[in-house]
Chain A
Amino acid sequence: QVQLQESGPALVKPSGTLSLTCAVSGGSISSSNWWTWVRQPPGKGLEWLGEVLHSGTTNYIPSLKSRLAISVDKSKNQFSLNLRSVTAADTAVYFCARVTGDRLVFDSWGQGTLVTVS
């Protein structure tokens, strides 16, 4: 069973770059799945950020497209998120997840990591 684990700094300064990595185990990142990031500000709902295929093809939420980059590292079986020019509004729990099948279900999730911009 595939497992995902987020890692990265818990605290980022305003105007800095938020960088997170999602390590994939129990499966290959080169499989025919999208790999995605979702965030959740404290006490609020879920927000889909973007996704990447093993080929490097990406889709992003339009509101963050100018600041966001998601990439894949097949040699390390992981994918990453970089969000530039962060503000306090980017404070959230960030989840990585696998998107499976033609129904595009988010069937495996990381535990989430809280990133505070301050």
Chain B
Amino acid sequence: DIQMTQSPSSLSASIGDRVTITCRASQNIANSLNWYRQKPGKAPNLLIYAASSLQSGVPSRFSASGSGTDFTLTISNLQAEDFATYYCQQAYNTPRTFGQGTKVEIK
């Protein structure tokens, strides 16, 4: 199985800040990496697919990059609705593993 490791596990930030979350795969997954945001009590929501493509309807303050084993998600100008947990997920093969999550909290 491909292991996905996110860092940090949590971070504190203020509205308007820029935050970066990293995700590392245990083997080369090319650009088969998706990012999701999950608000408390809700289902996850797709933000980014294929490592760097913004899903339709997702604000442009979200951006992502990476390929191979190392990936990043950046949120610029953090908004109130962005305080949530973020997950990366590899779509390279099955099982389609998720990272352990990064919780973005209000400072």
User: Contact residues of A with B, CB < 8 Å?
Assistant: 36, 38, 45-48, 51, 59-62, 95, 97, 103-107, 109-112
Contacts and interface: CB of A to CB of B under 8 A. Distances in A.
The prevalent SS among residues of A at the interface is strand
A111 B95 contact: no
Contacts of A105: 34, 46, 49, 55, 91
Given A45-B100, A62-B95, A103 B87 contact: no
B32 A62 contact: no
B98 interface: yes
B98 A46 contact: yes
Interface residues on B, range: 20 to 34
Interface in B53-107: 53, 55, 87, 89, 91, 94-101
Interface of B: 1, 32, 34, 36, 38, 42-46, 49-50, 53, 55, 87, 89, 91, 94-101
Contacts of B50: 103
